[in-house]
Structure formats: C-alpha cells, structure tokens
Structure 1
Amino acid sequence: MAERRRLLLTPDRLMAGGPVLLNTEEQHYLRRVLRLRCGGRVDVTDGCGRLSVATLLESNLLEIDPTAVHIEAPPQPQLGLAVALMRRGMDEVIRMACELGIDRIQPIRCERCVPQAEHRPERWASIVREAVEQCERLWMPQLLAVEELSQWMGDDQGQRLVGVTREIEPPALNQWLIQKGDPLQLTWLVIGPEGGWTTAEKRLLTEASVHPIQLGSSILRSSTAAVAGAVELVRWRDGLISS
C-alpha cells in the first residue's frame, strides 16, 4: 500500500463543513508533489491535534471524511526555543526545531545581533508549515513575532535556561533537566548571538532568574547550539513520557 502523506489546513477551513476549496499552492502540492489523482486519499491535519482523512474530488476540491478523525492531546511539558537573530542559519534552526518537536519558537533581538541578521517571518511561517507536513506532527509549533530580549524577558513564562560558554560552574543542559526540570512548566532554552551576551544582558538574565547551562565543551555557533539544545529538551520530555 502506498504511503499516505499529509496536508496542513487551518482549523477554520475544516470546521466550515462541506468540501474544502484548495488554493493554487495546495493544488500544486497534492498533484505535482504527492502525485495525487482525483479519487485519491490524503491525511489532513489542522495543526491543533486533529487528523482527518480526505478524498480529492477535483483538482481544487477536497472532501473530508467526518468519521475518520483522530485527536491527539498537546505534548507536555511544552518546550520553547528562544533564539537570537543570526546572519545565516535561522531558516534551518526553525525547520529543525519544528521537526524535532519544539512547541514555541521565539526569535529575539539582542545587542550583538549583526545588522544583516535574518528576519523573514513570512519565509519562516512557510518553513514551519512544510516541516509540519513533512514530519507528520499533529500540533504545529507557535512561531512568535520577533521581540527585543528585554521585552521578552519581562514576560513571566515557565522555567528558562540560557546557554553560556567559558564558564565551568553551570551544569550541562541534560543534567539540569534531569535534576531540576519541572515537568509541569513550560520550559524555554535561550540561545544568544554569536557575538555573545553583553554585560547588561547577562545582568538582565540573572535578575530574571534564568538558569545558566552548558551545551558542551566546545564553542558552538548559535545555529548549532540551538539544534543541540532542542534535541536535549525533546529527549528529556520523551523520557518523562516513557517513564
């Protein structure tokens, strides 16, 4: 039996009832990428935990089967990745964070972010969408609007960890999570710019009780550190779920 691929449609389009009218991009994806013919079936997710089965009636029309619905609760604890804008690599960080299972992605602007740092929200939204379809997630991660570090730090949201270098006292990320991680709280990992944190930013992080952690013995690029950290976060959550 041929593998059935997925299409992401927003919840409002699925809740309206009746056949779903496809836009040009969706038609291209089904007909040219998935090679789906009229009468063929495709899995449809709304990005909010619901999985349905649909039949392609015409090139631009899908019929949703209301009897074939699977609903999945959101993963717990929720995991967030806050990443300083970087000149190159942001696209890959967002794609891999989505594929790995991160639930919230927060681009942040820091003092040492270079002027040429990427800021392409429309492109990033497209990457998230494609990654959700490719990796078959039922919950689409939140891609939040870019914020200044000081502004974002003002929000009281869960437990927050920050990657640091050239410090010997902070524990490794996996060690901190196992020993002190709270499975009932949203958990954020903050990755700074490749130029490092300024003195004022370090003070801000300390005053906000953000816990310093290490991501290894070598100095990593911001993009590498973000992906390495995302892997550890998801591995910790998987261990909680299986235990």
Structure 2
Amino acid sequence: MSRSVRSFLPPSSHQNDGIWSLGENESHHLSKVLRLEKGAKIEVLDGAGGIHQTKCIEVARNKIQVQVLESIGAKSLKPSVHLGVAIPKGNRWEEMIRPLTELGVSSLTPLLSERTEGLCKSKKWENKLKKWNRLAVEACKQSGNPWLPDIKSPQQMEEYLRASGKNTWIGSTSTRCSMLSEALVNQTISILIGPEGGWSEKEEKLALERGARAFSLGPFTLRVESAAVSALAVARSLFLR
C-alpha cells in the first residue's frame, strides 16, 4: 500500500504539462531516506498557498517525477503577521524559525538592536538566509503550512519601522501597555520583539514616535524566542475565536 508524504516545489519550478520534477535534495530525501516507491502519493506544497496532490511516476537517486492529480489554493492566513525580532545569541535564532513557520508567520526580519548579542553587523548573510529558508521549508512540510514565510536580511529598527505600516506593536516591559488583541481589527500587524534585557530607552521611544503601540505578554521576563512565539500564537488564537 502506498503512503502519503509531503514535499516542496516552488511555483517557479512548476511545469505546465502537469508532470513535475522535484528538486535534487527533495528527490534524494524521498528516494534514499524515505525509500519512496513508484505510485506513492506525494502532497507537494509550493510555499505560495498551493497544495498539490500528486503521484510518483519515476524514482531515481536524484530525480523524482510526479504527476499532478489535484491542486487547490489555500486561503491566506488572517491576520497577516510580520515579526521583527532582535537577534539572540547562539543558535536560538535558527531554533525559532521552525515554530514561527508552523504558526504561520508571514515574514520574519532579524533586527540589529543596541543590545544585539548575536550576529555581527558586518557579516555576510547570503549563506545564512539560504539555511534559514531551508529550515522554514522543512517546517512547512512537517506542519502542512502551505505559506512559506519571507525571511529577510537583518535590518536596523529604524529601517524596519519605515516599512512596517500603521498597525505596529512593540513588546515592552512598561506598565503602560495595551492589549495585543486590539491590533486584530486590521488584517496586517507588525510585531517587534526586543533583545535580552529589552529595548533601549532610545529604541522604544523611536518606535512609539513612529506610531507603534506598546504591548506586554505578562509580568515575567521571557527569552527572545519565547516572546516571539507567544506573540504570534496570541495573534493567531484570538483571530480564530
């Protein structure tokens, strides 16, 4: 009996005749790791909302071809949530990509703050971005999320704020904070999560002057990755009620 598995193929690689060749890495994983056989059903996600039910028609070491049986377009996630997160030290940035993708983050931007402990500002990002994208693809396949988040190059907070729009919220330890649920009247929300120790006074003041609203996730101090995942989960769960 054939089994169903998930794979990934971006729209730019789709062929019009309904016979698709999966990428080399995807093909190798399916044929050598999962030992996929001809006739197996494969659910192919394209990262742009497309979910394609396919059947394997050719299996080789680095080449798997599938025939598209049915394609559907998933509804876009509402609200659209964009996260700007101060880069934490170590590999914690990469560790948060998976749960944020599983929860349906729309875009993810690493922020260089005054207290950034992670990657240095002069670092070349091309290889890092490729790895981050691969992690997001794996999370999409595991969770079934057909929307691949847009993971951007690191930015300064001021640059992020210029493009974030009016519905922007900044995590704060201040006692004068609003509820994050108030942001859900709009369909797009930008959320800023600060570094270990919080934003500097200058950074928080800049965000508020640019129209951002401060919010809190509770009385306790959260790690960067905990705050990012919690804020996204709050936005998603409140909208579904």
Settle same-fold status: TM greater than 0.5: yes
Q: 2:138: which partner in 1?
A: 130
Once the two structures are TM-superposed, the CA of residue 136 in structure 1 deviates from its matched residue by 0.4
1:99 corresponding residue in structure 2: 102
Unaligned runs of 5+ in 2: none
- Root mean square deviation of aligned Cα: 2.1
Find the partner of 1:170 among 162, 166, 177: 177
Alpha-carbon deviation of 1:34? 3.1
Secondary structure of residue in 2 paired with 1:95: helix
- Once the two structures are aligned, what percentage of the paired residues are identical? 25
Write the distance in 2 (CA, Å) between the matches of 1:19 and 1:2: 19
Label 1:232 to 1:156 Cα distance change in 2 as closer, same or farther (>3 A): closer
State the distance in 2 between where 1:35 and 1:225 align: 39
2:151 is aligned with 1:143: yes
Q: Structure 1 residue 20: deviation in Å?
A: 2.6
Structure 1 position 19, deviation (Å):
3.0
Say whether residues 1:152 and 2:166 are aligned partners: no
Q: TM-score under structure 2 normalisation?
A: 0.87
1:58 aligns with 2:65: no
The alpha carbon displacement at 1:181 in A equals: 2.3
* Equivalent residues of 1:162, 1:210 under 8 A apart: yes
Q: Determine if contact 1:84/1:108 at 8 Å carries over to the other structure.
A: yes
SS in 2 for 1:54: strand
User: Gaps spanning 5+ residues in structure 1: where?
Assistant: none
Report whether the alignment pairs 1:188 with 2:190. Answer: yes
Partner Cα distance (1:32, 1:72) in 2: 30
Judge conservation of contact 1:110–1:149 (CA < 8 Å) in 2.
yes
Q: Could you tell me whether the CA contact under 8 Å between 1:52 and 1:69 is conserved in 2? A: yes
After superposition, what is the alpha-carbon deviation per residue over 1:12-34, rounded to whole angstroms, capped at 9, x for unaligned? 21144353333331122212343
Instruction: Please say which of residues 223-232 and 125-134 is displaced more in the overlay.
Output: 223-232
**Superposed, which structure 2 residues align to 1:2-151 within 5 Å?**
4-56=4-56, 57-59=58-60, 60-65=63-68, 67-88=69-90, 89-114=92-117, 116=119, 120-151=128-159
TM-score, normalised to structure 1, is 0.87
Residues 208 and 2 of structure 1: CA distance in aligned 2, closer, same or farther (over 3 Å): farther
Which of structure 1's runs of 4+ aligned residues deviate more than 4 A?
A: 115-119
Distance in 2, matches of 1:218 and 1:102, equals 24
